[in-house]
Amino acid sequence: MLTSQDDIRPALRIREVTLGDPFIAATQNKISPLGDRTNSITDRIYQKYAIENWSESKLRTYIDMLHAFGFNSVQLYDQWQSYVCAGWGNDPRDWPEKVDALADYAHTKSMGTTLFIWGNAAFDHHNKTRHMHLCWNDPHERKILEQHWDHQSRHATHFDRIVTHWADPGGCNRNGCTIETAQHLHNQILKRFRAKNHAIESSFSLWMLHSREYGKWEGYEGPQSVLESGILPHDVMIAVHSSPDDGCSSRYGGFEINEVTEIAAAGRKVGVWAWYLADNEIAPSFIVRTKALHDYFSNVPADMYELIERHSLDSTSHGLNMHNLYVAGKLMRDPYADAQAVLREFIAGALGRENVENVQEVFFTIEALRKGFMGVPEGTVDAARRAHDLARGVLIPKGFSPAFPMIISPEELAGELTAQTEAITEFLVFREASADLERMTGQGASEARVNAAIANLPRVKTPSMWLTNLEYCAYLAGLDELKKALRRQQ
């Protein structure tokens, strides 16, 4: 399977995975296909796909898997999103302790550890409330920020590095706050951590600071706004904003080569904090990113790899994206490797060589159908049905043992492929029938006939144990829009 890490000089020295959350409880997330339809999320789904609900033993297996895939660092966070996306509401439960235990275990595998911190999007641990844009220059809000940072600094002895984020959520344009304020706040946070771990390092993230929608700091004009201010200590790494330029997530920007060059020329260490690269938190599902990962890493100029100190990427649909992590782990070491061949390696190692040809076709079909940033299926029913038939035919060889640690078993992975392709097929059958109904209405069908057709439209099953909420919620939204459109025509 994967080549020993000693066999080649990796293109990226520090290859990190950020263990995020599937945005399955984002009741106010208007840009997600799930919208406010979180009543479709069952306790079983929360237990299966939100890592906060996992046992420490299963979390350690996650670290083992990442290490086997070629990653040498893990990024964790103890933020309010962790609690919400676990189905806990505003209750941290035992997640802070699990974060420390997971970081400690990563160290036993010689992996680095990073703690992700929202700089001023804080959780008030006293009254268990969430805050998105706290102001340092407001005395009351300052107290909330300080207790939030004090809570975060309790993790200091378990981590090698912190990375602070200042937008999406975060930012403040009140009471004289500017981008310089954010830098001063980074120093405040770092001071608290170094009081408990003098060796801890830090990164200042530029994620979304350029965005008029998500960046709220006045005065940010680009990396020079940070490089030229003289506020951050010189040992603070600057992490640039990055996501794939594959035509579906360009709204979040791309890999800005000139920013890397500018930061390196200023004598700063450069990091890349990538999101929506190996996964998609706001449209959690079984997505295949083989082409996007290949295009992203193979198109980075070789000299950039010499300048980048560390590169992180996302993992949010836990158990559904092992294939993406496997491919990414290889490409971060060898950007010019054949990504499709690497995917075949994963399938052979996870499900047995007997299943490679059929499962590869299933993966390719999912990749082709779940396209666009949100991944709502588009394509033919025939292609989806064939993929579903192939998925149902996957048999794990008797006595088979995976070639690497897996956070779900081969049998569970085969079950996911079956469930996911079934949901895709159901949605495309519904969409095809909806188009037929609209044509029928346009041809003057009676109201009674139209209403009968609506009642008999194919349905997408309500999710109960599989994370197929993407198709289910898109189906509900599509049904609502169809009814509205038909009423307008009548």
CA distance readout (Å), 437 to 297, 376, 487, 488: 44, 20, 13, 14
CA distance 343 to 223: 36
User: How far out from the chain centre does Cα 111 lie?
Assistant: 20
pLDDT of 160: 98
DSSP-assigned letter for residue 94: T
Whole-angstrom distance, CA of residue 71 vs CA of residue 68: 7
Q: What is the DSSP letter of 282?
A: T
Q: What percent of the chain has pLDDT over 70?
A: 92
What is the C-alpha separation between 463 and 460, in angstroms, rounded?
9
Residue 105 backbone phi and psi in degrees, to 5: -65, -40
For the chain, which domains are there? Answer: 14-337 (3.20.20.80), 348-489 (no CATH)
Query: Tens digit of pLDDT for each residue in 434-456?
Result: 999 888 877 777 878 888 888 99
In this predicted structure, what is the pLDDT of residue 90? Answer: 93
pLDDT digits 0-9 by tens, 299-310: 888 899 999 999
| pLDDT mean for each 10 residues of the chain (490 residues) | 56 97 62 54 91 98 98 97 92 97 98 98 95 97 97 98 96 97 98 98 95 90 97 97 55 68 97 94 93 91 93 97 98 97 98 98 97 90 98 97 98 98 98 90 79 91 92 91 79
Spatial distance between the Cα atoms of 294 and 315, rounded to a whole number of angstroms: 17
Residue corresponding to tokens 């081969």: 410
DSSP code of residue 229: T
Q: Tell me, what's the pLDDT at 5?
A: 44
pTM higher than the cut 0.85:
yes
* Beta-bridge partners for 355: none
* 3-class secondary-structure state, position 86: coil
H helices of 443-468, where? Answer: 447-455
Q: Which two tokens stand for residue 212?
A: 């008029």
Q: Which residue has the tokens 């439960």?
A: 93
> CA-based Rg of the chain, rounded to a whole angstrom?
23
pLDDT at 25: 60
Integer CA distances (angstroms), 35 to 29, 283, 373, 473, in order = 6, 10, 15, 8
For residue 355, the model assigns a pLDDT of 98
